Amino acid sequence: MTEIPEHLLKRAQAARDKAADDAATPAAAAAGDSRIPDHLLERSKAARGDGGAVAVADKASAAVAAAPAAGLPVGAGPGGHTQRLLTVVKSGSIQETKAAPVDKVHTWPHLLAVEFVAGLACTAFLFVFSWVVNAPLLHAADFNKTPNPSKAPWYFLGLQELLTMFHPMIAGVTLPGIGLLVLVLAPFVDKNPSNKPEDRKWMTSMFTLFLMFWAVLVIIGSFFRGPGFNFTFPWRDGIFFEL
């Protein structure tokens, strides 16, 4: 049988003592001062007469007496058993078991595994390419015979092209520094968390302009500069460019 809490037993005992005091005074009982109905008192007295049912009657009367004291409705089940009042509250889980869907995954292994495989593929491609295609190395440098035109490697031709247009301080320090500073500050200006290109139009446009600016300078320095690093047309004077 379900255990009755200790505080309910104490409250029921206090109610029984008060009911016994009120029943001892006929005038008070006739005036209706007792809070416990007469039929419940009679049932409690009958239960006390049976030695084997004393504990059950005490718990039943405790539940009955505790309900009016706490302001709860009083009810009895079949056969007058009031222990069913303890099962009014249905047991159930108060913790949500459904997990909210998220669009994030762990860095390992989802991201690092793909990057590791991509690194292996690039390494294998470079190994095969360097095995099949020989490096375009020239003869040893001779300071008595300077090549004309003398061009920097292709990845520096954009900077060399700027040096023909501006002062070295502007072409070599100011303009590249401003470009790098803008790229560093770009994530703080565009704080859109979306990964879709159509949602990052400002960032995409700015980086595209940066790449196109240097690509145009590299193309001009590679194919449109001839002897003396003068402007020329490749379809008229040929190409003065080697890897």
Residue bearing tokens 């504990």: 55
* Residue 148 and residue 228 in contact, taking contact as beta carbons nearer than 8 Å: yes
Task: Dig out the tokens for 221 from the structure.
Answer: 């320095």
Report DSSP state, residue 168.
Answer: H
Residue 81: what pLDDT? 55
Q: Domain segments of the chain: what residues?
A: 6-85, 106-135, 139-237
What's the N-to-C CA distance of the chain in angstroms?
93
Class of domain 139-237: mainly alpha
Decide: 217 and 158 in contact? Cβ < 8 Å.
Answer: yes
pLDDT of residue 73: 47
Q: Residue 225: which residues within 8 A CB-CB, separation 6 or more? A: 149, 151, 161, 231, 232, 240
pLDDT at 32: 47
Cβ neighbours, 10 Å, residue 19: 19
Q: What is the pLDDT of residue 220?
A: 92
pLDDT score for 71? 47
What is the C-alpha to C-alpha distance for residues 84 and 72, in angstroms, rounded to an integer?
14
For helices 38-49 and 6-24, angle between their N-to-C axes, nearest 10 degrees: 110
pLDDT tens per residue across all 243 residues of the chain: 567 778 788 888 888 888 777 666 654 445 444 467 777 778 877 877 654 444 444 555 555 454 444 444 455 555 555 555 555 555 555 555 666 666 777 888 888 999 999 999 999 999 999 999 887 777 888 888 888 888 888 888 889 999 988 999 998 899 889 988 988 888 888 888 888 888 888 888 888 888 999 899 999 988 999 888 898 998 988 888 776
Query: What secondary structure does DSSP assign to 82-138, as a single string?
Result: -GGGGG-SPP---S--PPPP-S---IIIIIHHHHHHHHHHHHHHHHHHHHHS-----
What sign does the CA torsion over 54, 57, 58, 59 have? Answer: positive
**240 SS3 class:** coil
